[in-house]
Amino acid sequence: MSYDKAKVTESLFDQDVSVIMAELESGPKESAVLSSSLGISESEIKNRLAYLIGAGFVTVSGTSYGVDSEKLAKFMENDENYKGVVDGLTELDSYLN
């Protein structure tokens, strides 16, 4: 499955999407649970995750959403923008500590 790397990066760092992704960090969740927890409708959750679902980073099983952690980790390892952010934060942390 092909995808636009820039669009995936943009989606992952979008504030509206990142709050949902943070909820999915600990494992798959039912859309009703996400909706209740985040205070947004189930259809809005689906809309916000649509590109990441299509690109295979977010999985859907019935009414449950999950993250393909392996695919996401590989993407982050290979994304130059993400590497730059991590390197910058690591360097900043070394100065602060």
DSSP state letters, 17-74: HHHHHHHHTTS-EEHHHHHHHHTS-HHHHHHHHHHHHHTTSEEEETTEEEE-HHHHHH
95 in a structural domain: no
97 in a structural domain: no
52 in a structural domain: yes
Which residues form the domain of 27? Answer: 5-68
81 in a structural domain: no
pLDDT digits (tens, 9 = 90+) for 60-91: 999 999 999 888 888 877 755 555 545 555 56
96 in a structural domain: no
CA atoms within 13 A on the CB side of 44: 11
Domain total of the chain: 1
pLDDT digits (tens, 9 = 90+) for 2-29: 788 889 888 988 889 999 999 998 899 9
Which CATH number characterizes residue 50's domain? 1.10.10.10
